[in-house]
Amino acid sequence: MPDFSARRTMMVDTQVRPSDVTKFPIIDAMLTVPRERFTPHRLVEAAYMGNNIDLGPGRVLLEPRSLAKMLDALEVGGTDLVLDVGCGTGYSSAVLARMAQGVVAVEEDDALAADAEAALAETGTDSVMLHRGSLAEGAPEYAPYDVIIVQGAAEVFPKALEAQLADGGRVACLFMHGALGVARVGVKRGDRIAWRDVFNASAPVLPGFAMSRAFSL
Confidence of residue 1 (pLDDT cuts 50, 70, 90): low
Prediction pTM value? 0.96
Average confidence (pLDDT) over 177-188: 94
pLDDT surpassing 60 at residue 87:
yes
| Predicted pLDDT at 162 | 98
Average confidence (pLDDT) over 144-170: 98
Q: What are the residue ranges spanned by the domains of the chain?
A: 4-200
pLDDT surpassing 90 at residue 19:
yes
How many Cα atoms within 13 Å fall on the side-chain side of residue 21?
29
pLDDT surpassing 50 at residue 216:
no
The closest alpha carbon to 52, from 6, 15, 104, belongs to 15
Confidence of residue 213 (pLDDT cuts 50, 70, 90): low
| Predicted pLDDT at 42 | 95
Q: How far apart are the first and last CA of the chain?
A: 59
Q: How far apart are CA 48 and CA 183, in angstroms?
A: 21
Instruction: Report the mean per-residue pLDDT for the chain.
Output: 96
pLDDT surpassing 70 at residue 5:
yes
Average confidence (pLDDT) over 117-124: 98
| Predicted pLDDT at 212 | 79
Query: 134-152, pLDDT tens digit by residue?
Result: 999 999 999 999 999 999 9
Average confidence (pLDDT) over 164-169: 98
From the number of C-beta atoms within 10 Å of its C-beta (0-12, 13-18, 19+), residue 55 rates as buried
CATH, domain range 4-200 = 3.40.50.150
Crossing angle of helices 64-74/24-32, nearest 10°? Answer: 150
Confidence of residue 96 (pLDDT cuts 50, 70, 90): very high
